[in-house]
Amino acid sequence: MDRKTLARAKHFFTVGILWIHGTIVACQPQTPTWTVAQQDSLQWHYTQKLHTQILKNKALASQVQISQEGIRLFASAPKSEKYSAEFFLPWEDLLAYQQWLQHAPGAAELAYPRLPSGALPSPRFFPPPTANLPLRGWRIALDPGHIAGDMAMAQLEGKYLKIKMPDGKTVAVFESELNWFTARLLADALMQDGAEVLLTRSAFGLTALDIPYQEWWATYRDSLQKAGQNLAGLTAQKAFFETFQKRDFEARVQKINAFAPHLTLIIHYNVDAANQPWQKPTQKQESMAFVGGSFEAGELQKPEARFHLLRLLLTAHLAESIEVCQTVLTSIEANLQIKPVREPHQQDFLRQHALPTAAPGVYHRNLTLARRVYGPLAYLEPLYQDHPAALAQWQYRQLDYNGQKIPNWLAEVARAYHKAIRNWAQKKAARRL
């Protein structure tokens, strides 16, 4: 076995051990007395997970101290041995805190940097599925990325393609449309299976704030004018990137976490980053998916970020998310014949910002929703929009959805997602028996 394969095997073993540990012990409310050997084992497991999944920038390790006593988090890099930790979790409180993080993460986040108090939360109840309703009792959140309802808005947010094909025709497509209708088609299928479904955007062309961007921009500009602020140089596009995006992300996170889903899918379509500025088709076609982790320099400055580092470290959320992503990418390959991106990859942003998992095509990346959404999730990028086959599919609009003609291929992607969710739910049900 070569060194790379051995490293991946060790990584997979660690993920599996941590998953089993997180799912089993989180259901045990008693306060244990750990032996020295057990303390050593806990220290080793969480140190391994910290360095293989959580931290992209190893300098951040100074803010996370894992010892035989427990886990300490620091608001900044300690300047001396007497520097006070912001948060301390002794090992004897681990099982109880894991139960809070796994089953009531909102309460744990509100309490941070203190430990929550009160009766321990109970694991969520899953009603048994039926033959006709295999997802009965499931709550599934779908987040269709971006906001545009037309090409003009897509150009403002910079999420569109206009590519000239060899036959002289120009193919124009904007990602928000693809995301929205994929999510809508998938939602319909999931609800037919008995699931309760949340979409973070309530209609095509609306933001997660439930209004069009131009309406938000007009209200925002008027509020600044009434406050007497100088609006020179402030454009709709500048306000979008400097102010609106954070508020839109916040609305998505709040909606999803308030819904308390059993599973969240964040739906996007990718482009080949090496093909920039996307004026011609790419010759590569591959899929990928993201889960939380891979914190970079400067990304542990806020208490919110440090709490989520702790949540991802101590729960089964990451391991479950990796399994979901792997199940989806396997379904994409089986149904659309698009393989996951594999190491060594040719996408610079993966090398710069992500950490690989043991599952091909699945990466840790500290994206806002991947970090802040509680529970298992999959941040999906199933294909490159700028591949010739995709560009041909975007022109083939024969599928009628409530009076709007959309690309037929979106139904194929939604079907692959639907099959994967059913498959994963079946695995979850089998593990509960």
Structural domain boundaries in the chain: 3-111, 139-432
Q: Pick the closest to residue 203 from 211, 195, 192, 191 (CA basis).
A: 211
At 249 the pLDDT is 98
Q: Is the peptide bond before 32 cis (omega within 30 degrees of 0)?
A: no
Order of all β-strands in the sheet with 87-90: 64-66, 70-73, 87-90
Do the strands 354-356 and 263-267 form a parallel or antiparallel pair, or are they unpaired?
unpaired
Q: Pick the closest to residue 159 from 245, 265, 284 (CA basis).
A: 245
Q: Pick the closest to residue 429 from 84, 45, 133, 44 (CA basis).
A: 133
- Helices and strands, counts by H and E, the chain: 15, 14
Give me the residues paired with residue 264 across strands. Answer: 141, 377
At 15 the pLDDT is 41
What CATH architecture does domain 139-432 belong to?
A: 3-Layer(aba) Sandwich (3.40)
Q: Which residues of the chain have pLDDT under 50?
A: 1-29
At 342 the pLDDT is 85
Q: Tell me the C-alpha distance between 75 and 64, whole Å.
A: 9
